[in-house]
Structure 1
Amino acid sequence: MASPDQLVGSLESLTPESFTTESERVRAWEQNWVNGATNASIKTLIDAGIFAKWIKIGGRPAKAGNLAELVNAVEILIKRMMRQISGQHLIVEVGEDKYATTPWVEKLVSDPAFPSMYGEFYKNLNVAMFRTLPYFLGENGFKNPTDVVSSNWQYMTGKSSSFFEDVGTNAELRNSFNDAIKCHSKYNLTPWPDVFPTDSLAQGAKPDGALVVDMGGGKGHDLTKFNVRHPDAPQGSLILQDVPDILKDMKPVGHISVQPHDFFQPQLVKGARAYFMHNVLHDWADPEVIQVLKNIPGAMETGYSLILVHESLISTLNPSPLVTVSDITVMACLSAKERTEKEWDKLFQEAGLRIIKIWKTVEAVESIIEAELA
């Protein structure tokens, strides 16, 4: 069996000359064509209750017809959906019209956040914003979008409110968005303590002060990762900040305290060891990024406090497709962008900060920019 590195290497080396016939090329192209149909099939099966009932009866190999009976659905419909996702190896075909579960199915049932990836996030975000993006760009003269309140999001929704305003005021959309971010962090990203040496933060921290302030931290998944690595962090020293709408129903948990805060306002917590932001600044155009960064130095302690920005960096040569997809995604909903190292360095300088080091690992898609007062 090929190793993951060998598989990735094979995919990256594909060129038009890799295919000896047109039918081989079409087979590869079909992997892009099937994505929409696969997601639609997954969402249908989730809503019908197929996966939950299947796991509840033990997750044994089963016929599509038997699974349809469990949820009182029409057999032919379930059969067609099962055929689609088995072709993508999300379930395993073990016989004619008979399927076995996979770890993906088990996780879909056991992790309450996972199904949200195929809910409102799929319907009203991921699919919708890419559908309208080419038309928005065309009608605006193919200019690079930089205005968050005059963006593809307003073009798509027909409203004047911004992406984050809509997410904050729509409970179903907000929950799906938060769940999607949580799942992305949990399953797709290398934990940030594996990218940055967090031992240096814990060992050099003052016992009576804030250790990590997670600005725009959502539901606190990054602070949880830190806390797992450093369970002896002082009580309440890990501070989760976000706007009130996002922090609805959030309560202090363990060493994590909760503080509503708008990062476009001066930072409230003075003298923290680290001010951390994960996938926050890529949501904004350059002027807003500078504004956010300028709000932090007034709270920092010279020679002690650090700013840690956890983001995907665009390579100037052969950029990762994961990063370029993220770049077009934030363009589509926020008129924002991913950035190169040079672009980040310029923004930090304009905010009165100095980049110390950019931490990277081979495994991680995202890097961590470490900065201090200039």
Structure 2
Amino acid sequence: MAKAIEIEEPVTVTVATATSPSNLAAVPQLIKELAEGVGCLESGCNEARQALVTQARSLVQALETPRETMIKHCWAQPAVFAAILCGNECGLWKLMAKNGDKPQKVKELACALGVDPVLLSAMGYLLEVGEDEYKPTSFSLSLSLPIMNGGYPALITMGGPSFINLHEYERSRNWKNPTDAKDSPLMHAHKTDLNYFDLAASRGYLEDFNNHMGGYRQGRLPWMAPEFVPVQEVLIKGADQSPDAVFMVDVGGCLGHDLLEFHRYHPTVPGKLIVQDLPQVVGSIIPSEENKALTPMAHNFFEEQPIKGARAYYLHSVLHDWPDDRAEVIVGRIKAAMRPGYSKLLINENVIPRTDAYWETSALDLVMLSQLSAQERTERDWRDLVEGRCGLAIVKIWSGGRGVESLIEYLFPIRANPVDYKLFQIAGYNQILLT
């Protein structure tokens, strides 16, 4: 199969380009912006911190030579992944965290773990205090948490081959955007007909994936916070007050992380909170005082939704796992269970802006493409999928700011006469189209 473009003219770029700073002219202005940004950190504003991180990365990129960037990509980053994964597997991060914030000798750590000392590599993520002696950092301490370390086997061990071999997959398919859930780059790389989730389960990485789902959202404003979405007005007001009513169904909700957080913010909502996922997932939820407010339910979201007429059906990072044809089936199953004019569909996902997309979102878009033949979506994509293909109406897109997933509120509109529609307009649902 031929490459997408054949370059016939000779390339005029010289080695000097690869060994000179990438953008030395930009350095003075970047340093000035960094200095100005430091003062904003005192406010505790997360957006100010994010802006400073972006500027710091830009400064490093401007100072680095292309040759140094290449070496970082080809040597350092793969080596970091290898070191972190080995540290996970042998228990290094948990042992160092248990030992506390003190200098720790490599030989003593290796002896306690039963590993060859030469295998313990710092790679810059531990603080060197002497020869073969290190102190943990906040990063290495965080790696002792399952919600932090789970992403490495779930996405690097499982997903790494998909990234590395993506060019081969694309070359063999004439450089077409993958949209077939049964023919993903991951399946091509692993030489399997299992999708990501089935493969993760077969290889023992499903728990790591579930932990990662609980971890990647940490440190960001949750949608149920009062300053994000006014839950009282949007959901609680007008909800069925019967104790047997279902208030919210978290479809594909993993271990119930989101519903637990919702309950912490709104402990007195009327009705039940139900978390649905595959049997092997909800079956691993251990009953506790914390999660007693949840009702686990085994359910495949491609099948008929058993809970009818709930106030809200909630999907967090579900539809981005699937191309449009499969996502349409998932939404269709929920729509069939919704009570017109009452039930709402809440989609908690990224809404990619037209320009200046945040780096986390852009990276995740490529993760979805390479692992699942899926994608992150723009507002137009969401309207085409859920409004155009599924017939639900967007009430509002609630944005949590840069790097935070939005909450898209959909309503199943009722068949109404003009008087009813006027009441909808007065209530604020002036974007709703009559069916």
Same fold, TM-score > 0.5, yes or no: yes
Task: Answer with 270-279 or 177-186: which moved more.
Answer: 177-186
Tell me which amino acid in the other structure corresponds to 2:107. G
- What pairs with 1:60-75 in structure 2 (closer than 5 Å)? 60-75=102-117
> Residues 30 and 313 (structure 1 numbering): CA distance in 2 closer, same or farther, change over 3 Å?
farther
Find the counterpart in structure 1 of residue 250 from structure 2.
Answer: 214
Question: Any idea what SS the aligned residue of 1:211 has?
Answer: strand
- What pairs with 1:129-148 in structure 2 (closer than 5 Å)? 129-148=162-181
Cα distance in 2 for residues equivalent to 1:165 and 1:75: 36
RMSD: 2.6
- What pairs with 1:328-347 in structure 2 (closer than 5 Å)? 328-347=366-385
Which of 289, 302, 311 is the equivalent residue of 1:264? 302
> Residues 333 and 57 (structure 1 numbering): CA distance in 2 closer, same or farther, change over 3 Å?
closer
Cα distance in 1 for residues equivalent to 2:385 and 2:307: 23
Cα distance in 2 for residues equivalent to 1:65 and 1:221: 39
Matched, 1:122 2:156: yes
> Residues 285 and 202 (structure 1 numbering): CA distance in 2 closer, same or farther, change over 3 Å?
same
1:106-161 CA deviation, whole Å, 9 max, x = no partner? 3333x3443333335431x2312212211111101111111111221221222222
> Residues 342 and 12 (structure 1 numbering): CA distance in 2 closer, same or farther, change over 3 Å?
farther
Find the counterpart in structure 2 of residue 302 from structure 1.
Answer: 340
Which of 137, 140, 155 is the equivalent residue of 1:105? 140
> Residues 102 and 239 (structure 1 numbering): CA distance in 2 closer, same or farther, change over 3 Å?
same
Which of 246, 250, 254 is the equivalent residue of 2:281? 246
Cα distance in 2 for residues equivalent to 1:28 and 1:10: 17
Instruction: Give the CA deviation at 1:330.
Output: 1.1
Cα distance in 2 for residues equivalent to 1:145 and 1:229: 39
Matched, 1:185 2:224: no
- What pairs with 1:1-374 in structure 2 (closer than 5 Å)? 2=38, 3=41, 4-11=49-56, 18-19=62-63, 26=67, 31-33=72-74, 34-78=76-120, 81-82=121-122, 84=123, 87=124, 90-109=125-144, 111-119=145-153, 121-123=155-157, 125-168=158-201, 170=202, 172-186=204-218, 189-194=220-225, 195-200=228-233, 201-208=235-242, 209-234=245-270, 237-250=272-285, 253-349=291-387, 350-374=389-413
Tell me which amino acid in the other structure corresponds to 1:343. D
Tell me which amino acid in the other structure corresponds to 1:190. L
Cα distance in 1 for residues equivalent to 2:257 and 2:266: 14
Point out the structure with max Rg over C-alpha.
Answer: 2
Structure 2: give runs of 5+ residues left out of the alignment.
1-34, 42-48, 414-435
> Residues 56 and 264 (structure 1 numbering): CA distance in 2 closer, same or farther, change over 3 Å?
closer
Question: Any idea what SS the aligned residue of 1:292 has?
Answer: helix
> Residues 254 and 355 (structure 1 numbering): CA distance in 2 closer, same or farther, change over 3 Å?
same
1:275-325 CA deviation, whole Å, 9 max, x = no partner? 100111111111222222222233222332211101112221122221121
Cα distance in 2 for residues equivalent to 1:160 and 1:93: 45
> Residues 106 and 303 (structure 1 numbering): CA distance in 2 closer, same or farther, change over 3 Å?
same
Aligned length: 358
Tell me which amino acid in the other structure corresponds to 1:44. C
CA contact (8 A) 1:190 1:364 kept: no
Instruction: Give the CA deviation at 1:9.
Output: 4.7
Cα distance in 2 for residues equivalent to 1:363 and 1:196: 16
> Residues 254 and 352 (structure 1 numbering): CA distance in 2 closer, same or farther, change over 3 Å?
same
Instruction: Give the CA deviation at 1:176.
Output: 1.7
Cα distance in 1 for residues equivalent to 2:126 and 2:191: 39
> Residues 337 and 54 (structure 1 numbering): CA distance in 2 closer, same or farther, change over 3 Å?
closer
CA contact (8 A) 1:192 1:222 kept: no
With normalisation by structure 1, the TM-score equals: 0.86
Cα distance in 1 for residues equivalent to 2:197 and 2:87: 30
Find the counterpart in structure 1 of residue 418 from structure 2.
Answer: none
Tell me which amino acid in the other structure corresponds to 2:92. I
Cα distance in 2 for residues equivalent to 1:263 and 1:77: 44
CA contact (8 A) 2:197 2:206 kept: no
Q: Percent identity?
A: 30
Instruction: Give the CA deviation at 1:351.
Output: 0.8
CA contact (8 A) 2:221 2:400 kept: no
> Residues 368 and 32 (structure 1 numbering): CA distance in 2 closer, same or farther, change over 3 Å?
farther
Cα distance in 1 for residues equivalent to 2:205 and 2:261: 25
Instruction: Give the CA deviation at 1:255.
Output: 1.1
Cα distance in 1 for residues equivalent to 2:147 and 2:358: 27
With normalisation by structure 2, the TM-score equals: 0.75
